[in-house]
A and B are shown apart, each in its own frame.
Chain A
Amino acid sequence: QVQLVESGGGLVKPGGSLRLSCAASGFTFSDYYMSWIRQAPGKGLEWVSYISSSSSYTNYADSVKGRFTISRDNAKNSLYLQMNSLRAEDTAVYYCAREGPNSSVDYWGQGTLVTVSS
């Protein structure tokens, strides 16, 4: 069965950095686009970034462009999100998500909480 397991969240000071990881299993990771989607406390879903199956194409939300970098290692079945210059408004649960073949996000991880506070 498909599993996506995030790690790397935690408490960080404003201006700091954090690297999130997502371990994928149960499917051919290299066949799928992958995304990071976040949810601030008590708020809705916000797409953050996605990466193509071969890493040739990436895109970012305006709110994180220039600060966050998405990457993947298909040999390790892993997705990453490097987050720099973190701000209080980046505080959220970050979900690793698979782009399904049918124009949907068909699997989500359990999420990892990132808290940016002094």
Chain B
Amino acid sequence: QSVLTQPPSVSAAPGQKVTISCSGSSSNIGNNYVSWYQQLPGTAPKLLIYENNKRPSGIPDRFSGSKSGTSATLGITGLQTGDEADYYCGTWDSSLSAGGPHWVFGGGTKLTVL
């Protein structure tokens, strides 16, 4: 299983708001920035949020991120059918496993817009 814990699925109606949680530990989320990725069906992941709450250019402000302690949250408001995708959180892990700092990801959350 994944080092970071995400709910397998979330759903909401168009126009509504949804949040996706990501839980980790002090060796990863607790001491490192969290980023979020959107993977539309059949495509590569795309950066959605970096440094916990910042959006790359071109990402609408309907997408937001936050972090508290060893957990992070992705929020999406004004849901659109085009938001249906898998969402992943990711961060560095500073534990001794893997011989040094390494990337860890959540298991992914499938968003369904009903």
Contacts and interface: CB of A to CB of B under 8 A. Distances in A.
5 contacts: A44-B105, A60-B99, A100-B50, A104-B50, A108-B45
B44 A106 contact: no
Contacts of A68: none
B35 A37 contact: no
Interface of B: 2, 32-33, 35, 37, 43-47, 50-51, 54, 56, 88, 90-92, 97-108
A105 B106 contact: no
Interface in A94-118: 95, 100, 102-111
A47 B106 CA distance: 11
Contacts of B2: 44
A88 interface: no
Contacts of B97: 62
Given A61-B98, A103-B33, A110-B43, 9 more contacts: A45-B88, A45-B108, A102-B51, A103-B50, A104-B35, A104-B47, A104-B51, A104-B90, A108-B45
